[in-house]
Amino acid sequence: MSFPTQAEEQALHERVLARRLDPVATRDVFEAFTEPIIGILCKQRGQTREDARDATIDVIYSYLNHPERFDPQRARLSTYLTQSAKKRVLDFFRSSEARQRREQEFGGVFELRAMTPKESMEITVEARLAVERLERALTQEKDRTFLKLVLEGERSTHILAEAMGLPASTEAENRREVKRNRDRLMKLLGRLRKEDHDV
Amino acid sequence: MSNPDWLEHAVRRGQLEPWTLAHTFERYRQLEGLSEDALARELNCTRETLHWMSLCRKPEGEDFRAQVTAVAQRHDVSPLALAKVIRHVEIMNGFAESESARAANGDTAPLRLAARENVEDDEKNS
């Protein structure tokens, strides 16, 4: 599937700028650009279709939210969207690479020395008790899922908001709600840790 | 109309954008407790058409009727059915906002709800 002609792209951009005068323009942008951009991204080495798809969709929504940021004097709309999607995919990749590194470092700390069976048993029991205490404190499944994601290093507002089951809302509102929830859970963890030390 | 594999993902992502019909349809489904298929039936279209329509900008403002007509014609659905869904969500959102404002002001008196008239007016005018 190929991109529209330059004239068609320019006409589509003008329809998007008209916003309320043409409510169908946004749909036409998806129809014209999504598949070709995903196709280009998928040709990059090691690229999964899922990442290519998510990056393309994200970039198109960013453009539709702020179409005035695109300057038709500098490039074609298809070039602008494709380049933005390539950068977005790179961000995804870096973020997942950073997460893998954090997990490896975390794993490395545990592998530093071999434990005696007695130590291992004590740690297992303590860990089980800690998990039980945490499960008692976190009665909501959503809280557990959210905490798991946070501890895994997830930072995407979109993913955390989804885990919280937030209704569809603005990015700013979601960010505020996610931060509030993260602060609440971190405070709870701090309290549990303090109780643990006091026991 | 084709049904590409990215369409449903674009719709899900669009539910986070208040200007989309995806957001409005999702809100309507939550309010009415409807599945996607049930909403598609209500609009007398396929689920696929519902998805494509979800990528459109939500009609609003002075030329509401013209915008609804444009979306409806493009997707071969009834403008009246589409307008009813959009208006219903607007009314309920307005109601929820005024209730929050009243609660914030400590106002606990019962609220008279007359918003339904707007939908009826639209129906008469269509």
Residues B39-76 pLDDT 10s = 999 999 999 999 999 999 999 998 999 999 999 999 99
Nearest CB to A168 within list B5, B26, B52: B26
C-alpha distance from B58 to closest chain A C-alpha (Å): 7
Is B10–A22 a contact, with Cβ atoms under 8 angstroms apart? no
Nearest CB to B61 within list A20, A22, A167: A20
Give the pLDDT band (50/70/90) at residue B32. Answer: very high
Chain A contact probe: residue of B17, B30, B74 with most A CBs at under 10 A = B17
B11/A158: higher pLDDT: B11
Using the predicted structure, report yes or no on whether residue A26 has a pLDDT greater than 90: yes
Q: In sequence order, what are the residues at sequence separation of 6 or more whose Cβ sits closer than 8 angstroms to the Cβ of residue B93? A: B27
A121/A86: higher pLDDT: A86
Using the predicted structure, report yes or no on whether residue A99 has a pLDDT greater than 80: no
Region A72-91: what's the mean pLDDT? 95
pLDDT in tens, A100-145: 777 777 666 655 556 666 666 676 777 777 777 777 788 788 888 8
Give the pLDDT band (50/70/90) at residue A3. Answer: very high
Q: In sequence order, what are the residues at sequence separation of 6 or more whose Cβ sits closer than 8 angstroms to the Cβ of residue A59? A: A37, A81, A84, A85, A88
Phi, psi of B20 (to 5 degrees): -90, 155
Give the pLDDT band (50/70/90) at residue A35. Answer: very high
pLDDT at residue number A108: 61
Is A19–B57 a contact, with Cβ atoms under 8 angstroms apart? yes
pLDDT in tens, A59-74: 999 999 999 999 999 9
pLDDT at residue number B70: 97
Task: Tell me: ipTM over 0.85.
Answer: no
pLDDT in tens, B86-119: 999 999 988 877 777 777 777 766 555 554 545 5
Is B57–A56 a contact, with Cβ atoms under 8 angstroms apart? no
Both tokens assigned to B114: 């007359």
- ∠A73-A20-B93 over CA atoms, to 5°? 135
> Which one of A50-64, A174-188, B96-110 scores highest in mean pLDDT?
A50-64
